Amino acid sequence: MPRARPSTAAGRGLAAAMLAAAVLAAPAQAGTVTTLVSSSSLDLSGYPAAAQLSVELVRKGPLGDVVIGHAAGTADAGGALHIGAGGTCWSTFTPEIRAGDTVRVSMGSVTDSAVVPGLTVNWPGLATGTGTQVTGDAPDGPVKAELLDAGGATIETQDLTAAAGTWTAPFAATLAAGARATVIDAGNTTVVENPLPPRADCPPTSPFNATAVTAIDPGHVVAGTPTINAAGAGQNLIVQGPAGDAALTLTATLNGGAPEPAPVIGGILTATFPAADLAKLPDGQVTVGVTGGVGLTMTKDTVAPGPPTSTPPPGRYLTAPSVTLAPPEPGAQVRYTLDGSAPGFDSPIYAAPIHVTTNETIRAFAVDAVGNPGPVVSLPYQLAPAGAPPGMPPGTVPDGTGTTPVAPPPAAARVAITLAKRISLPRLKSRGLTATVELGQGTTAVRFTVYRRVIRRGHRRLKLVASVVRVPGRAGRYRVKLNPRALGLTREGLYRLKVVPGLSRATLDESAMRTVWLRIVR
């Protein structure tokens, strides 16, 4: 069974350092985790060569587990990775490892979990007239102490008894340069070693025992992202993190506002900001600061995505269509239902074309990368009844053939800009913008909407510039010359042109829209 081996270094009154180990919980591909308690060193071994490893240091807090440190790196050819002194640095904040913390190591879908035990060994040992005396602490059970030489070879072994107290090992051997002491429990699953071989220091991001904000209440942040979404912005914001000294009186601030108390319980600080304070802040960067410690910067994003689109568009079809759903923006997902019920966050995520074999309505909405939901759209599909006359164009079926007559929905408008995707501003002003628009069966009106991409507070947004409706009156292929001034195309930048068809000016169908991008240059 693989093991985790933690240890402690001298600090804050400790006489010396300790190295301890615990059994990992994960089965396949689990490895050994070695941590230096009361410092920030952590060694991983026994993993596949070149494995991508992600590490979390977790401490129990008043509201549950709190991630107080994170690091990631690649195992070397021997399947090992060192984090901390002389190896891969912790990200953002360098945590202090304490007995009772949990180390989680993830490799793909496999996660190892090890609790740092409180087994200690004090070093250097005490030289006596007959040898060396080494002491330490053990939570329970018998332990076995070993004295090692500088090369790691065992010099002498002592079998000891420890029951929630201290142990003493009277070695006959005398101290030598580079000597070390180790302790192994009766189950041979926990190893304590002191001292560790020296290493070069990793460039520090902060002192290992610093106070920091490292975690946000899960209700406010989508896992894996530092973003507060619309749902989280309407709730109290709870922040947590390690406290370097439980005796400190700490406060936390939100974007430099009024300080809130951050009491410390079990080495974890907790501060709560009212939802009203969070709601006042505009979308963009939000920073939580803490007294004498490392703050945390995240993003507030409450903008809902648009609706998903479908191909082919809703309508009547002679043959069963295979419908694809597309999210409105990169990183978004589409959730849907086929039974007419309203979709929710527990509905299936769209992953493959939907084969429509009977009359049914697909109801769907998009969820952006930070968890903001968009509007629900209904996408009705109908199949032609048996006996429909041959030669009918796809997507239509005549009324009065055994089904309830319905008006044919608008077909998709297919848009093609005859100019290059890039156009100079002088040319645009002198010649205008020409597009080719093809309107499908039943479509008599079309709306042109122009958005300009802007960057605010480091985030990209689409700003509405102009919207105009044209009514050709019937389906067909049109060559359209658009007035740049009427569409707001008067300055350099990247623009998105959206074309929405409809049966009339009053019945435009957003689900059948088509878009194209245009860049205007000097």
Q: What is the pLDDT of residues 186-219, one digit of tens each?
A: 544 445 555 555 555 565 544 555 688 887 875 5
Q: Residue 248: what pLDDT?
A: 64
Residue 170, token pair as written in the block: 């009277």
pLDDT-based confidence at residue 368 (cuts at 50, 70, 90):
very high
Q: Say if residue 410's pLDDT is above 70.
A: no
Q: Say if residue 514's pLDDT is above 80.
A: no
Q: Please list the residues that pair with 169 across neighbouring strands.
A: 134
Q: Residue 513: what pLDDT?
A: 74
**How many Å apart are CA 252 and CA 218, to the nearest integer?**
19
6-15, 60-69, 235-244: range with lowest mean pLDDT? 6-15
Q: What is the DSSP letter of 12?
A: T
Computed from CA positions of residues 277, 226, 333, 450, in that sequence, does the dihedral angle turn out positive or negative? positive
* Short-list 474, 389, 490, 485, CA closest to 438: 474
Q: Residue 356: what pLDDT?
A: 92
Q: What is the pLDDT of residues 479-506, one digit of tens each?
A: 777 777 777 788 888 888 888 877 777 7
Q: Please list the residues that pair with 382 across neighbouring strands.
A: 316
Element (H, E) at 449: strand 445-456
- Continuous H helices in 410-499: 425-431
Owner of token pair 């995240």: 298
pLDDT-based confidence at residue 38 (cuts at 50, 70, 90):
low
Q: Say if residue 253's pLDDT is above 80.
A: yes
Hey, which of 129-138, 152-161, 171-180, 364-373 has the most confident mean pLDDT? 364-373
Q: Please list the residues that pair with 296 across neighbouring strands.
A: 288
Mean pLDDT of 34-60: 81
Mean pLDDT of 405-432: 60
* Short-list 127, 271, 269, CA closest to 211: 269
**How many Å apart are CA 294 and CA 11, to the nearest integer?**
21
pLDDT-based confidence at residue 507 (cuts at 50, 70, 90):
confident
Owner of token pair 């050709």: 472
**How many Å apart are CA 423 and CA 381, to the nearest integer?**
39
233-242, 250-259, 464-473: range with lowest mean pLDDT? 464-473
Q: What is the mean pLDDT of the chain?
A: 75
Q: Residue 466: what pLDDT?
A: 82
Output 8 or 319, whichever has higher pLDDT. 319
**How many Å apart are CA 85 and CA 42, to the nearest integer?**
9
Burial of 387 (0-12, 13-18, 19+ CB in 10 A): exposed
CB crowding 134-160: b at 16 or more within 10 Å, else e: bbbbbbeeebbbbbbeeeeeebeebee
Residue 501 in contact with residue 512, Cβ under 8 Å? Answer: yes
Q: What is the pLDDT of residues 79-125, one digit of tens each?
A: 888 887 678 888 777 787 877 888 899 998 888 888 876 777 777 77
Backbone angles phi, psi at 148, to 5 degrees: -110, 155
Q: Residue 379: what pLDDT?
A: 94
Owner of token pair 């494995």: 51
Is the model's pTM score more than 0.85?
Answer: no
